[in-house]
Structure 1
Amino acid sequence: MAKEDEFLNEKQHNFNDRQVSRSDFPPNFVFGVATSAYQIEGACKEGGRGASIWDSFSHTTGKIIDRSNGDVAVDHYHRYKEDIDLIAKLGFDAYRFSISWSRIFPDGLGTSVNKEGISFYNNVINCLIQKGIQPYVTLYHWDLPLHLHESMGGWLNKKIIDYFAIYADTCFANFGDRVKNWITINEPLQTAVNGYDTGIFAPGRCENTSTEPYLVAHHQILAHAAAVSVYRSKYKDTQGGQVGYVVDCEWAEANSDRTEDKSAAARRLDFQLGWFLHPFYYGDYPRVMRERIGDQLPKFSEEDKELLRNSLDFIGLNHYTSRFISHVADCDVESHFYKAQEMERIVEWEGGKAIGEKAASEWLYVVPWGIQKVLNYVAQTYQNTPIYVTENGMDDEENETSPLHEMLDDKLRVRYFKEYLAAVSQAIKDGVDVRGYFAWSLVDNFEWAQGYTKRFGLVYVDYKNGLTRHPKSSAYWFSRFLRGGESKNGKEE
């Protein structure tokens, strides 16, 4: 592997300490913040909402590190006006949020629409519009109605495609006069692998890891295409919106110039991105996946391929961090998905220094050059389809003993956003068609299996004192940035 200094200075722009401003982006570039329903809404039994798989999972002993759940979360259900007011005051153009499927159809089946759920999201959307904020709506962010899982196997059953299409149709019909940017499914990779291989996410299955993750992925891909077909045939002409879906990818950099490591890095990208993008552009999964997974990888019919073709108006990319990748012939892992890749993810340069400064989560290192590389890769591999960076951010560790002012002065997060945004602006200069950027997350929230032990928010939520909101230094930095100013210390001047 190239030495660190050579790599950063010769092969890659060094984004450290570089100032970045709004003028580095096109005038119509969208800046927003993002959240998801289960992580922020709470009100789990209010407003006619049905249970989701995350309700069940989070109440199962041992699944959430701090034994917490999303029953209340940060109470966005009752405080959405306050939160939207914060978005407006900070100066963001857009808000990416998800709709809870079980708020619309409590049993997921589409037989009886919950009018209270429709009303809630109408109120959220109308409030956003009144504040001049564009809604970017995700239909599925992991919270499958529990009834669909218990009664028919959820994403394991092909019938889920039809139920998802009915749900999507209902959302298009009720909200599409104001919502012009739709995301069908968020991070299908995480649902497939963490939900049905490692079992660390809902529904927590790890019994048939050589088949179930690939079946779940297959049905999610087809569900997206079915929803797009509904939109284009019934709503596109009158509503004029666009529909994409969101993939997640950490950049995979070869650990050396050896052919084996270069192949392993390419393989890693095919397993992360190609799995969920190749079918739309090439009609099938990546060849390396067919070779390594064999008959366990489902096949697309000719009818499926026709449905998939050109069904992405844009690609949403969630990106946080990067890894060096080396080839390992015999991976000592239980996960079928990871074993099939025959690779090792490395977090150190050859001299032993970390690939970047570490955030709170064990998987998250600050590696800004990685986002430029992954954006260029996606553009080159997938026809330079318009891209929105739909999530990007880092977390701090929850610390109950630190005074509030220390928790709010999130210097590393300010630096993270500055350096990653500089890298995104460079990707645009490279010719990548990036249309927008969404910081994760608006507020600290329920961080899935990590519960409330990790804080990703631009806005601090005081869990012990009435869930009060306190903007962090990073929020003020963004506010200055969006107004065209710069700040070196992350605080408003």
Structure 2
Amino acid sequence: MEQCRKSFPEGFLWGGATAANQVEGAWDADGKGPSLADAMVAGTHQLPRRITLEIDESRNYYPSHSGTDFYHHYKEDIALFAEMGFKVYRMSINWPRIFPKGTETEPNEAGLQFYDKVFAELKKYGIEPLVTLYHNEMPLNMVTAMGGWVDRRSIDCYLRFAEVLFRRYKDVVKYWIPFNEINDLTTAVGNWNHGGILNHGTEDFSHQVDDPDKRYAALHNQFVASAKAVLLGRQINPEFRFGTMICHITVYPLTCRPEDVLLTQQEDQLRNCMSGDVQCKGVYPYYAKRYFERNHIHFDVEPGDEELLRRGTVDFYSFSYYMTNCVTAQKDAAQVSGNIMGGAKNPYLKATEWNWQIDPVGLRYTLNHVYDRYGLPIMITENGMGARDTLQDGRVHDDYRIQYLREHIEQMRLAIDDGVELIGYTPWSAMDLVSVSTGEVEKRYGFIYVDKDNAGSGTLERIRKDSFYWYKNVIATNGSEL
């Protein structure tokens, strides 16, 4: 009997992703206020990004201030997305562009008009917007005046922001993600970027002083804000669809020692599953409650919060996937880096220049793992390879990126054949942008090369990479030609 071989479904959402703070630039244009991303100076893989609450451009270079200037090139950029054949474009809306301080009662109309134009341009080409409400763009004023997401008042500020967008774009945007990589607050490095938390003694992004009580209070407030946003959005337009977005750090036991296997299960539960369980199932899982008890972590859960979480669950599951790590009880195991967190080195995998391991098969495993747990439609909203691309005679030959993406897309097809309901794929990134972890532009992810270096110099010319043409064909053939 011949084995059934399913491929990508008709209407599959092929596209690409960016974040406002990494591409837009124009950090103080048209009434926009500073975000927490605007307070991070440039760094490298070896030099951590410093955080400066007093922004001083005369002494420091802040990469997000200019990004790769999507703000002034959005028509050209979206035309290139359309040329590739994008069905969907994942983007975020820069919170302080709409509410400069985050605490205002009336939005900044000039900021909204910019997104009016972006959505009109997407509509012109038939590209579906997938909008992330919060992608590390908290107004800096809310960080300094309120302590970020630790303060319950942040929920009301966020809902005011969300309601403005839901009402203005109720007939324009269907897919919404309330929080990017919400589970990053299960790690200490998530304090600043994701929680707007700057504990005393923290000077740079890579070495943050941690207070788990505050960090999990911030995460709880984001859970509540997400649930409230989902409920509010459905009142405004019942056709809205909301998704969780998890930074999925898939982990394997380094050995088959039972201790390694148990540690791996615990790591997976806390880092990957807990936030998904809250947003998809509507409850804190048993293992999270026990983790809080064992580690003496305390945060306020107000009356009504549990009911909100139960009612405000999401419609689809989305996640970022770049690499996998291993977990072990061995103290001297070789280590590797990764998105938000590293781990023990897997001897069977190669790694990028930034020491992120490449594991296409792990994506198929992850898709099955997630679908088995939640049974919701899935979008892969980030997946890609940062590399030091070089421009040669006006071209960028990024065969390494093509190979990376080809191998991952093939594993996506196999997961669909396994029975996983995968509905969309927005690789990171649609175009070159500022890397969060290092502040570099030269750690390039995009299908489109942007002529800009780590110091901010360059013409900003947009150049199609070899991967641009390759991905265009992938989309045109609905994934049948890789």
TM-score, scaled relative to structure 2: 0.85
Unpaired stretches in structure 1, ≥5 consecutive residues: 1-20, 350-354
Please name the residue that 1:393 is paired with.
384
Change (3 A) 1:420 1:291: same
CA offset at residue 24 of structure 1? 2.5
Which structure 2 residues correspond to residues 17-416 of structure 1 after superposition, within 5 A? 24-58=7-41, 63-64=48-49, 67-190=61-184, 193-195=187-189, 204-205=198-199, 206-233=208-235, 235-237=236-238, 240-294=239-293, 295-298=296-299, 300=301, 303-309=304-310, 311-328=313-330, 345-349=343-347, 355-362=348-355, 364-382=356-374, 384-397=375-388, 402-404=390-392, 408-416=396-404
1:436-468 deviations in whole A, cap 9, x for unaligned? 000110111111241224111111111144111
Is contact 2:103–2:142 with CA below 8 Å preserved after alignment? yes
Is contact 2:85–2:476 with CA below 8 Å preserved after alignment? yes
CA offset at residue 324 of structure 1? 2.2
Which whole-Å CA distance do the structure 1 matches of 2:65 and 2:133 have between them?
20
Change (3 A) 1:79 1:433: same
Which whole-Å CA distance do the structure 2 matches of 1:60 and 1:471 have between them?
27
Which whole-Å CA distance do the structure 1 matches of 2:249 and 2:182 have between them?
15
Is contact 1:44–1:72 with CA below 8 Å preserved after alignment? yes
Please name the residue that 2:57 is paired with.
none
1:111-169 deviations in whole A, cap 9, x for unaligned? 12100011000100010001111111111100100111111111010111111111100
Which whole-Å CA distance do the structure 2 matches of 1:380 and 1:485 have between them?
25
Match for residue 439 of structure 1 among 424, 427, 435: 427
Which whole-Å CA distance do the structure 2 matches of 1:154 and 1:87 have between them?
34
CA offset at residue 473 of structure 1? 1.2
Task: Quote the sequence identity (%).
Answer: 30
Determine whether 1:462 maps to 2:451: yes
CA offset at residue 434 of structure 1? 1.1
Determine whether 1:427 maps to 2:428: no
What is the one-letter code of the residue matched to 1:459?
I
Which whole-Å CA distance do the structure 1 matches of 2:480 and 2:273 have between them?
38
Please name the residue that 1:6 is paired with.
none
Which whole-Å CA distance do the structure 2 matches of 1:457 and 1:69 have between them?
17
Please name the residue that 1:17 is paired with.
none
Which whole-Å CA distance do the structure 2 matches of 1:410 and 1:476 have between them?
11
Is contact 2:21–2:94 with CA below 8 Å preserved after alignment? yes
CA offset at residue 302 of structure 1? 6.3
CA offset at residue 301 of structure 1? 5.4
Which whole-Å CA distance do the structure 2 matches of 1:217 and 1:331 have between them?
31
CA offset at residue 288 of structure 1? 3.4
- Supply the RMSD in Å over aligned alpha carbons: 3.0
Change (3 A) 1:193 1:73: same
CA offset at residue 48 of structure 1? 1.0
1:44-70 deviations in whole A, cap 9, x for unaligned? 111110111111233899753895421
Count of matched residue pairs? 447
Change (3 A) 1:485 1:124: closer
Is contact 2:319–2:380 with CA below 8 Å preserved after alignment? yes
Is contact 2:353–2:387 with CA below 8 Å preserved after alignment? yes
Which whole-Å CA distance do the structure 1 matches of 2:369 and 2:379 have between them?
14
Q: Secondary structure at the match of 1:44?
A: coil
Is contact 2:41–2:62 with CA below 8 Å preserved after alignment? yes
Q: Secondary structure at the match of 1:28?
A: coil
Change (3 A) 1:270 1:386: same
Match for residue 472 of structure 2 among 467, 476, 479: 479
Change (3 A) 1:26 1:299: farther
Which whole-Å CA distance do the structure 1 matches of 2:345 and 2:397 have between them?
27
Is contact 2:251–2:326 with CA below 8 Å preserved after alignment? yes
What is the one-letter code of the residue matched to 2:450?
V
Is contact 2:243–2:316 with CA below 8 Å preserved after alignment? yes
Change (3 A) 1:38 1:169: same
Residues 210-219 or 135-144, more deviating? 210-219
TM-score, scaled relative to structure 1: 0.83
Change (3 A) 1:195 1:251: closer
Change (3 A) 1:372 1:298: farther
CA offset at residue 284 of structure 1? 3.9
Is contact 2:37–2:193 with CA below 8 Å preserved after alignment? no
Which whole-Å CA distance do the structure 1 matches of 2:269 and 2:480 have between them?
39
Residues 442-451 or 294-303, more deviating? 294-303
Which whole-Å CA distance do the structure 2 matches of 1:344 and 1:85 have between them?
37
